[in-house]
Copies of this chain bind each other. A is one copy, B any other.
């Protein structure tokens, strides 16, 4: 949950055929900001499609958006209520059900990115049928994913890769997509995880695709484009993550990126949730990703490094970025801090 400015990336092309928005953000009974990652991500990156928030009386977390009942949100144009919170089990809590029913009755679709499927809860299924509304599980991959081909597609592609999970690959891709848009460059953010999909209004949950089809899914996600069009693809996992490397690999080969941006958190020494493993160096990730990525794009290159400096002061962050930039001979920036370093990184991605 890192701050971001209010200006949104444009996703018009996606939302036309994607998730029904604007959204009402549902915060459940959450008292822990860390669990409201999806709601904050939507507020930060899709504010123009967020009408307000709705929470149970004892919730203490807020996005700062208007507090609206489902009926109020509907009357202001909301199309869906998004479950904007998670809990450690990834399940739909019993206490949330009355609020979800209220949303359906008010005429809103419900969108969830949780492991548990909305459609498996019979009372919701019946209420949705009665109200003629949809229960949308964004963790459900599309039905007919073709086997990949590896063949080169037209257009340009940028992929964020990382030294670990959960250190800024989505935020970096979103910030780059926003910066490209600000420069008038025709581009699309391509989402590969549940929060990204809600922000973009479409995408493919890479981790939920059957392994044999994972590269095919990545190919489907960034189809043939105009020669000067960019797809900015949200990375997943890490090529050196002992558990999720397969997803990263399929995404790399299927995305056939022209440009990589390597995401790293300099304060993290051990993998998140897998403390037995040290975080690999940025150098190792660059070296391996280039070797592997050449297979589907011989022209692959590194645009620079996105350093997650949320654990550092501004002075420490600037010093860390400068040092790393000299060491690697590459632009290094924190997209959330922005500034001239980030502009330099964008220039490098564009090959300027």
Q: A240-B295, A245-B292, A250-B245 are in contact. Are A150 and B212 (CB under 8 A)?
A: no
B243, A215: Cβ atoms closer than 8 Å: yes
Q: Is A231 an interface residue (CB 8 A)?
A: no
A240 to B292, CA, bound (A): 7
User: Shortest distance in angstroms between A249's beta carbon and chain B's nearest beta carbon?
Assistant: 4
Q: Does A277 sit at the interface, judged by CB under 8 A?
A: yes
Pick from B210, B215, B246: contact of A208, CB under 8 Å? B210
Q: Does A216 contact B (CB under 8 A)?
A: yes
A296 on interface, CB distance cutoff 8 Å? yes
Q: Is A116 an interface residue (CB 8 A)?
A: no
Q: Which of A187-219 contact B (CB under 8 A)?
A: 206-212, 214-216
A129-155 interface bits toward B, Cβ cutoff 8 Å, 1 = contact, 0 = none = 000000000000000000111110000
Q: How far is the CA of A206 from the CA of B148 in the complex (A)?
A: 17
Instruction: Give Cα A240–Cα B253 distance, bound, in whole angstroms.
Output: 9
- Is A274 close to B, CB under 8 A? yes
* CB nearest to A148 among chain B residues: B243
Would A215 and B240 count as touching, CB distance under 8 A? Answer: no
Restricting to A233-255, which residues have a CB under 8 Å from any CB of B?
239-240, 242-250, 253-254
Q: Which of A50-100 contact B (CB under 8 A)?
A: none
Is the pair B211, A214 in contact by a Cβ cutoff of 8 Å? yes
Residue contact A247 to B212, C-beta cutoff 8 Å: yes
Of B149, B211, B247, B249, which is within 8 A of A207 by CB? B211
At the interface, yes or no: A121 with Cβ under 8 Å from chain B?
A: no
**A123 in the interface (beta carbon within 8 A):** no
Kindly list chain B residues whose C-beta atoms are within 8 Å of the C-beta of A254: 243
- Bound form: Cα–Cα A210–B211 in Å: 5
Is the CB–CB distance between A148 and B291 below 8 Å? no
Report copies per complex.
2
User: In the complex, are the beta carbons of B216 and A212 less than 8 A apart?
Assistant: no
Count of chain A residues with Cβ under 8 Å from any Cβ of B?
Answer: 37
Q: List the interface of chain A (C-beta within 8 A of B).
A: 147-151, 206-212, 214-216, 239-240, 242-250, 253-254, 274, 276-277, 280, 288, 291-292, 295-296
Cα distance, A149 to B206, chains bound together (Å): 19
Asked if B150 contacts A274 (CB within 8 A), the reply is yes
Q: Closest CB-CB distance, A278 to chain B, in whole Å?
A: 10
Least CB separation from A291: chain B residue: B288
Contacting residues, chain B, for A210 (C-beta < 8 A): 207-211
**Cα(A296)–Cα(B207), bound, Å:** 21
Nearest CB of chain B from residue A195's CB, rounded to whole Å: 16
Q: Could you list 28 examples of A-B contacts with CB < 8 Å?
A: A147-B243, A149-B276, A150-B242, A150-B274, A207-B211, A207-B212, A208-B210, A208-B212, A210-B210, A211-B214, A211-B246, A211-B247, A211-B250, A212-B244, A212-B247, A214-B246, A215-B244, A215-B246, A216-B243, A239-B249, A242-B253, A242-B296, A243-B254, A245-B250, A245-B295, A246-B246, A248-B249, A288-B288
Q: Which residues from chain B contact A240 at a C-beta distance below 8 Å? A: 292, 295
| Contact among B147, B150, B276 with A277 in the assembled complex (CB-CB below 8 Å) | B150
A29 → chain B, closest Cβ, in Å?
27
